[in-house]
Structure 1
Amino acid sequence: MEYPGIEFLYLNEEDMIRAGVKDMKGCIEAMEEVVKCLNAGDYCMGGENHNSHGCQVSFPKTSPFPNMPKDEGDDRRFMAMPAYLGGPFDLMGMKWYGSNMANKALGLPRSILMVMLNDKDTGAPLCLMSANLLSAMRTGAIPGVGAKYLANPDSEVCAICGPGVMGRTALAALTAACPNLRRLKVKGRGRASLDRFTAHVRETYPQFAEIEAVDTVEELVKDADVIAFTNTGGTDPSTYPFVKGEWLKPGALILGLSAFDMEDEFLARKCRLVVDNMRLYEAWEEEFPYPSFGANNIIGSKFTDMAHDGKLDKKEIYDLGDIIYGRRPGRESPEQILVMSVGGMPVEDVAWGKVCYDNAVRLGLGTKLKLWDRPDMC
């Protein structure tokens, strides 16, 4: 870039698709590099602890100001998620989004997301990009990294709780990481979403000779080798899908992208517990004072609550990066049950955004926008 003039690239959703944002294999590879950077500490996220998930604006239930948005349903919020990521990415960025379940009645996704990439030194914008697909892909890809290292290599039965966007991308990652998957079970809340999901699977993944829609969590997890929870969840753990240990097949891998719950004793004594970045869950312990689980609906916060209660030693919570680097064992037997928590972090958006940005520049995609030729006040 020729300073002091600044131009940056704008990539709409079509540009992002042409830049490869839906390349799940490539996204899994990028997310594995992210996990390595996280484990090495080569990153910074928000907050004094450098590990905050982001800064969220949540609206009040009532307000004397008629124009102020109200918290009238699940996931009504705005959030800014800044991060620097080193390693092969070496870039600053931020995801920004608003979320409202009422969007669906307008034909819009629940959340509308953008990512801005910036030069790490000057702060100059490099690229503003449509990020709904980017965020969905990176969310699904982290479980793909987990499955690569933790699933039994002969896994054949996959189970998805939540047939929405996250369910689709998680399935894409799991089929990439577990090539022997042949049978799919899915649980949802409505017939229409189940039908759409099933049609998508039949068109995209012909290897699934059997697709079964089930009504209960027990039916979902029974006999499943790889299980992904991608459903929506609020702040009341009593409403989360609940998995009893007795329902699980020996050797099952559970991937918690969203809300679900299990018996404390079974988690502590019968499972290996894995998280995508231990420092994130320690930051959540600060931001959501005990009990964290519920205020934060990710199962890894239940792990730290259990450590707080003395039900397990914190050392029994394994970091995926340590497993990738060989510092700690992953799966140690075909019968071992593993539960991996997926928190979701802005470093992932920066990483996949950087890959797509580089592809866009190489392919000549997007629209160049001018910030200034020379700043008026300097």
Structure 2
Amino acid sequence: MSGQKLDFRYLNEQDMIKAGVSDMSGCIKAMEDMFVLLHKGDYRMGGEDANEHGIRVSFPKTSSVEGMPLHKPDYRFMAMPAYLGGRFHSFGIKSYGSNPDNPQKGLPRSILMMSLMDAETGAPLAYMSANILSAMRTGATAGVGARHLCVQNPKTVAIIGPGTMSRYSLNAFVEAQPTIDIVKIKGRGKNSLKNFIEYCKTEFPNIKEYVICDSFEEACEGADIVFYGTTNASKYEDNPTVKKEWLKPGALVIAASALLVDTEFLSDKKVKLISDNYKMYDGWGSGQPLPTQKNVSTLLGMGFYDAVTEGRIMRESITEMGEILAGKKTGRDSDDQILLYAVGGMPIEDVAWGYDVYMNAIEKGIGTKLNLWEKPAL
């Protein structure tokens, strides 16, 4: 092996599209496989507990250093490393920078890249555009919930926050549950609503009706699936919420972003709590001041953690999605049961879908081979 030539594959955004990054059916299958491996423990993420979401560079609210970026909502730079075993057996790092002012420069709010490496040697396998990959895996993770937690033959989906994350999640919902034909939407601006509906009419011709709602309550009413995909509000108290009385019996609430839920709702015996990976929230909140939803993250999973830490619910009352897919626990227990499914985003999701797209690229000869060295200098 000494002195071996080393190449890796670069995949730009168009290469990723050609290699099937937008295949929602395939992505949902990859997320299902990932959840089973998560349950088996055949994975590692960051930190000693192997469950960290990622490493974030935070900026100060004020600074005397010239040119120092200052804190604002959704302004962050992160690296998200992970190993995933099973058929994937790869290590990867997704990195991204997010700035809410980017659209004013004609750029997406977040710009993401994915590095895929050999799990044995650390040699690079691929360096790939990851904006679509990341959106797909987030949507597909929500889609896994729609497939395994929803009532039979759902008709109506409520979308809270009609942004990119919601587009891909709706794609996953329609893939997982083809009977969906009504979409209710609650957004903050007319342009986002208009763009979302225009996109959906092109991509999802089977949807018959779009209903624009003025409140969270109106959007939730009568929906079989309620999806929260909003960005963080400037003030914690202005983040979206949900109440049990707004929901129909049997509703599935999926939150992939900010969602504040009162403890009485979480502790209701008729409500079932599902987590993508509770250990991630537990590690995230450990040692942090309560409520961690206010001090760490507005994700629903942190709300689960707060309720457990405060002794308002038992840890055992939270079911892991991996337990359901591995056949160890049930998902929905009755047609009228309300379910809350917390989706926080994990780098093992990026490794799973990144690996499958990479393998497609190899099979089809897509991408550009780049040489790292003919012979290592060190």
1:177 CA drift (Å):
1.1
2:359 match: 358
CA 1:2/1:238 → structure 2, altered by over 3 Å: closer, same or farther? same
Kindly report which structure 2 residues correspond to 1:53-92, keeping only aligned pairs within 5 A, or say none: 53-71=53-71, 73-92=72-91
1:47 match: 47
2:330 match: 329
1:31 match: 31
CA 1:106/1:87 → structure 2, altered by over 3 Å: closer, same or farther? same
Distance 1:287 1:139 in 2: 28
2:136 match: 137
2:347 aligned with 1:346: yes
Distance 1:232 1:2 in 2: 49
Distance 1:289 1:24 in 2: 39
Report the number of matched residues.
376
Kindly report which structure 2 residues correspond to 1:180-329, keeping only aligned pairs within 5 A, or say none: 180-234=179-233, 236-269=235-268, 270-286=270-286, 288-294=288-294, 295-329=296-330
Distance 1:3 1:207 in 2: 56
2:109 match: 110
Question: 8 Å contact 1:234–1:297 — kept in the other structure?
Answer: no
1:287 CA drift (Å):
6.5
- TM-score, normalised via structure 2 length: 0.97
Bigger shift: residues 1-10 or 253-262 = 1-10
What secondary structure is seen at the aligned counterpart in 2 of 1:56? strand
User: What is the root-mean-square deviation of aligned Cα atoms in Å?
Assistant: 1.4
Distance 1:147 1:2 in 2: 49
2:174 match: 175
Question: 8 Å contact 1:21–1:133 — kept in the other structure?
Answer: yes
1:3 CA drift (Å):
5.5
Distance 1:347 1:155 in 2: 29
Distance 1:266 1:216 in 2: 19
Partner amino acid, structure 2, of 1:106: K
What secondary structure is seen at the aligned counterpart in 2 of 1:261? coil
Unaligned runs of 5+ residues in structure 2 are: none
Instruction: State the Cα deviation string for residues 45-77 of structure 1 (Å, max 9, x = none).
Output: 111111111111011122222122222x31111
1:291 CA drift (Å):
2.3
Question: 8 Å contact 2:150–2:332 — kept in the other structure?
Answer: yes
What secondary structure is seen at the aligned counterpart in 2 of 1:315? helix
What secondary structure is seen at the aligned counterpart in 1 of 2:297? coil
1:5 CA drift (Å):
1.4
> Percent identity at matched positions?
48
Question: 8 Å contact 2:74–2:231 — kept in the other structure?
Answer: no
1:103 CA drift (Å):
0.3
Distance 1:141 1:100 in 2: 24
Partner amino acid, structure 2, of 1:60: P
Distance 1:293 1:50 in 2: 21
Partner amino acid, structure 2, of 1:248: L
Distance 2:181 2:276 in 1: 27
Distance 2:332 2:263 in 1: 20
Distance 1:255 1:85 in 2: 24
Unaligned runs of 5+ residues in structure 1 are: none
Distance 1:286 1:234 in 2: 24
Distance 1:104 1:9 in 2: 29
Distance 2:27 2:362 in 1: 18
Bigger shift: residues 15-24 or 306-315 = 306-315
Partner amino acid, structure 1, of 2:363: R
What secondary structure is seen at the aligned counterpart in 2 of 1:101? coil
Instruction: State the Cα deviation string for residues 219-265 of structure 1 (Å, max 9, x = none).
Output: 10000000110110158541111212111100000001011122311
Question: 8 Å contact 2:260–2:298 — kept in the other structure?
Answer: no
1:129 CA drift (Å):
0.1
1:278 CA drift (Å):
2.1
Distance 2:29 2:221 in 1: 30
Instruction: State the Cα deviation string for residues 131-172 of structure 1 (Å, max 9, x = none).
Output: 000000000000111111100012101011111110100000
What secondary structure is seen at the aligned counterpart in 1 of 2:50? coil
Kindly report which structure 2 residues correspond to 1:5-16, keeping only aligned pairs within 5 A, or say none: 5-16=5-16
Partner amino acid, structure 2, of 1:244: K
What secondary structure is seen at the aligned counterpart in 2 of 1:78? strand
